[in-house]
């Protein structure tokens, strides 16, 4: 089942302080376990599941019990946060589009 990525990104853009702290903790744990910076364990698990990885599939199954389509929402959230940082850095560096 697909999600509306645009709607999910808009929701992510309005995250509150506590949620942003939890995302930061999630990203920290992901990096400590060998993942890429600025990505959440949830999005990493979703990508692994899509490639057939058994641990990724288990994580997605478990997270979906807490929040339907959690992995897909996490991927959209990671995308929104990355785009927000990109815009901030472009503005800071005076990058012309």
What distance in Å separates the CA atoms of residue 37 and residue 57, rounded to the nearest whole number? 22
Find out whether 2 and 46 touch, Cβ atoms under 8 Å: no
Q: Packing angle between helix 70-92 and helix 41-50, nearest 10 degrees?
A: 120
**Would the pLDDT of 81 be above 90?**
no
pLDDT at 76: 87
For the residues 26-34, what does the mean pLDDT come to? 95
Residue 77 has pLDDT above 90, yes or no: no
Residues 2-8, mean pLDDT to the nearest whole number: 71
Q: How many CB atoms lie within 10 A of CB 42?
A: 23
Q: Is the pLDDT of residue 60 over 90?
A: yes
């Amino acid at each position: 089942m697909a999600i509306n990525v645009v709607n999910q990104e808009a929701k992510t853009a309005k995250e509150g302080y506590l949620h942003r702290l939890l995302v930061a903790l999630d990203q920290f744990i992901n990096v400590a376990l060998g993942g890429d910076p600025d990505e959440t364990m949830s999005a990493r698990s979703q990508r692994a599941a899509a490639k057939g990885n058994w641990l990724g599939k288990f994580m997605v199954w478990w997270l979906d019990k807490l929040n339907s389509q959690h992995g897909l929402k996490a991927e959209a959230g990671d995308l929104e946060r990355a785009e927000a940082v990109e815009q901030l850095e472009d503005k800071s560096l005076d990058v012309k589009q």
